[in-house]
Amino acid sequence: MMKTYIRNIFITSALTSALASCSSGNEKKQEAEKPVVKEEKAAIATISPEKGILSSSLQIPGELVAFQQVDIYAKVNSFVKKLYADVGSEIKKGQLLATMEAPEINSQLSGAESKLQSIQALYIASKANYERLLETSKTPGTISPNDLDIADAKQKSDYAQLLSAKAAYKEITDNRNYLEIRAPFSGVISARNVSAGAYVGPSGKGSEMPLFTLQEQEHLRLAVAVPEAYTSYLTDKSKVEFSVRSLRNEKFTAVISRRAGALDNRYRAERVEMDVINKDKRLLPGMVAEINISLPGRDSAFIVPKTAIVNSSEKVFVIKIEDGKAKWVTIKKGREVNDKVEVYGDLSVKDILLKSASEEIRDDSQVKL
């Protein structure tokens, strides 16, 4: 019985070892049959800089202003007698806008006129006296030379007094003419600040507000401040397109007519003006315009994707590959159009640049392509 039990234990152990050996062999065989996967590093994309010219456009706000605009003040202290124009009135050059009254000017004019007539009579008398003495002196011994000289001096003195009186009379006459306010050019009255009976005068001397504001609206200026970075691309007589908010579906064109030739000290921008013909008066002075200015390229530069440029705190650079090493090349950026950028620096078309550069790739480090 004991022998049978021992034999059974031996047989069971042998079977267990055999099964374990078969299982281990199968696992090794399965592992051997699995495909071997090799780890691959992602390829680093490179590019070569290309020579080319980028043409872009500049979108910038501008302002429509009247070609001519003037605030009209009274030239002398006076009272408004009558107004002949109001807001919206279309005015022709030289048209009467208002009449003023100043009683003291009429009194001054009367006094100046009387004085002029008095001095003129004295001059006529002294001149006649000198001419008679001169004619008599032709007979020897009748008139002394001294009397003739005195008469001549008196005539010249009276003539000088006459000229002075005429000048004073003309000055007061001109002041009286200033009581009529006339338009300096054709346009539209955009503001009226006084009524009949108001006391007015030159700015700061009777009236702080002008009588009228006159604008030339059939001819407008489109003014825009172009940043310094874009001034070199502007050309005279270039056409620009613009639109205004009240007429969104319409495009207007204008031509660059004037450039300041200097930068504003505050904004570092150049004032550029375009002439706009506005016969139908659909455009109004003071409107804000959205301007599109074409900026054609002038010189050939290297063109690279934006991703190839690194803007670090140290400098702006691209990464060039030389003999398996990364080299930081300092560049200056030009214009940007879509995802392309003009760059200027120590580059050539034969150079190899990283397409996606970053500061993580240090200068002079090994790079495997």
Calpha distance 107→331 (Å, rounded):
80
Q: Which tokens go with 80?
A: 């408004």
Calpha distance 268→138 (Å, rounded):
81
This prediction has a pTM of: 0.60
Residue 364 region by backbone torsions, left for phi larger than 0, else alpha for psi between -120 and 50, else beta = left
Query: Residue 6: which H helix or E strand, with range?
Result: helix 2-33
CATH T-level topology, domain 300-354: 2.40.420
Q: In what order do the strands lie in the sheet with 180-182?
A: 180-182, 96-101, 78-83, 199-200
CA distance from start to end of the chain: 79
For 216-295, give the CATH class: mainly beta
> How far lies 240's CA from each of 75, 188, 243, 295, 364, in Å?
42, 27, 10, 10, 48
In the chain, where are the structural domains located?
68-102+179-214, 103-177, 216-295, 300-354
Calpha distance 368→272 (Å, rounded):
52
Beta-sheet pairing, 46-47 with 353-354:
antiparallel
CB atoms within 10 A of CB 192: 20
For 103-177, give the CATH class: mainly alpha
pLDDT in tens, the chain (369 residues): 444 444 554 445 544 554 444 444 444 444 445 444 343 344 578 888 877 777 677 889 999 999 999 999 998 888 999 999 999 999 999 999 999 998 888 888 888 889 999 999 999 999 999 898 888 888 887 888 888 899 899 999 999 999 999 999 998 888 888 899 999 999 999 999 999 998 888 876 556 789 999 999 999 999 999 998 888 778 777 788 999 999 888 999 998 899 998 998 888 999 999 999 999 999 999 999 999 887 776 666 788 888 889 988 888 999 888 888 888 989 888 777 778 888 888 888 888 888 888 888 888 888 776
For 68-102+179-214, give the CATH class: mainly beta
